Amino acid sequence: MNLPTLSFGELKAKLPIIQGGMGVGISLSGLASAVANEGGVGVIATSMIGMRDPLRAKDPEAADHRGLIEEIRKAREKMTDGLLGVNIMCALTNYGDMVRTSIREGVDVIISGAGLPLDLPGYLREVSEDVKADVKTKLVPIVSSGRAASILCRKWMNKFDYLPDGFVVEGPKAGGHLGFKAEQLDDPKYQLESIVKEVIDAVTPFREKHQKDIPVIAAGGVYTGEDIAKYLEMGASGVQMGTRFVATHECDADEEFKRAYVQAKEEDLTIIKSPVGLPGRALKNSFLDAVSTGLKQPKKCVHKCLHSCAEEKSPYCIAQALVNAYRGKLKHGFAFAGANAYLVDKIVTVKELMNSLKDEYDRRVK
């Protein structure tokens, strides 16, 4: 059997695989275009996207604006297939500009989490009226509960007469910042298998009442083709995978960042308390050891990237730490990673990875 397609309205990807948006700099045009060309949904992460701009220190928001346009256009130039998405965190200080710019640039999908994107459809209307043309961009929030999905459906319908074009349901085995309390991470009722069913049940009444398909995408700890089959059998329409795409030649991170995944052991995965106030999953290293032992890092904020960052109470600047990691300077930063990162044993091409996922899926469903 072949993997099914994944549709967001009239837009269709040949494979039901979304590559997770990984900031800072881990998934840019290189990785996103490679995934799209293999039939998936390639995703550019917008967080700190203008970090390489020489004028960033003078105007961070303008640098991010330029960086996003550049990465979207570079991806489009390389793409021959698939869909292009962007991941935009609600917590970004330049959230509105990132959304408007993405819609104007004609991205296929906006995936938005790190908070509930209650006003996201308003940007579609605003840009459409401004350019005096319909826009095609689809809106896919990230949620971690059926309650959140239901709230968004109700709020969007009441205010914008618009339902989400899909939901990414992210479980506690994801990498990076997690939408759970520390005590929920190992609680069975918060695991992905449970919350996928919960979200499907929550959106079904809206699907039926408004005659709109709302695909539910399973994310967080999805690692193999067998995993893909499992979640599709549960009723999900697709999966989102981040960790698997880090150790690919096309990933935009430095080779040292990728090697950290290849060399990781299970005991290297740890939960940190992020300066933004959320738990996060990362790979242990000397930088995080220094933080945990009370060594203070310079904490002057030069990026002003997140609303939720309490810089005056932070032992280090997480934005700078992630920029350093992207550049391979892991003594001065750290790598976020999903719970299965220790299973990565080599760096492959995106094509090789996608083919192995298809083969694993076929073996499971035959």
Edge-to-edge strands, sheet with 176-177: 176-177, 279-283, 269-273
Residue 93 confidence class, pLDDT cut points 50, 70, 90: confident
Range list of H helices, the chain:
29-37, 60-78, 95-104, 120-131, 146-160, 192-210, 225-233, 243-246, 255-263, 286-292, 318-326, 350-365
Predicted local distance difference test score (pLDDT) of residue 350: 98
**Which pLDDT score, from 0 to 100, does residue 302 have?**
52
What is residue 274's predicted lDDT score, i.e. its pLDDT? 78
Task: Using pLDDT thresholds of 50, 70 and 90, give the confidence band for residue 124.
Answer: very high
Per-residue confidence (pLDDT) for residue 4, from 0 to 100? 96
- 8 Å CB contact between 306 and 91: yes
Residues 6+ apart with CB under 8 A from 224: 357, 360
The residue-averaged pLDDT of 32-36 equals: 98
Provide the mean pLDDT of the chain: 92
Q: Is the pLDDT of residue 23 over 90?
A: no
144 half-sphere exposure, CB direction, 13 A CA radius:
20
Annotated domain spans of the chain:
6-254+344-365, 256-332
Residue range 148-176: average pLDDT? 97
Which residue has better confidence, 326 or 315? 326
> Average pLDDT in the 70-87 region?
96
Q: Is residue 307 predicted with pLDDT exceeding 60?
A: no
Residue that wins the pLDDT comparison between 87 and 291: 87
| CA–CA distances in Å: residue 296 to residues 205, 313, 314, 328, 361 | 51, 11, 9, 21, 47
Give the span between the Cα atoms of 113 and 143, in whole angstroms.
7
Q: What is the pLDDT of residue 297?
A: 60
Q: Return the pLDDT at 206.
A: 97
Task: Identify which has the larger pLDDT, 320 or 303.
Answer: 320
> In CATH, which superfamily holds the domain spanning 6-254+344-365?
Aldolase class I (3.20.20.70)
* Alpha-carbon gap, residue 356 to 265, rounded angstroms: 22
Identify the bridge partners of residue 109 per DSSP, sorted by sequence position.
85, 138
The reported pTM is: 0.93
The pLDDT, as a whole number, for residue 236 is 98
Q: Which of 91-100, 237-246, 314-323 has the highest mean pLDDT?
A: 237-246
Torsion 4-8-10-12 (CA) sign = negative
Average pLDDT over residues 195-219: 97
d(CA 258, CA 54): 25
Share of the chain above pLDDT 70, in %: 94
Q: pLDDT (tens digit, 9 = 90+) per residue, 208-250?
A: 999 999 999 999 999 999 999 999 999 999 999 999 999 999 9
Place of tokens 């837009």: 11
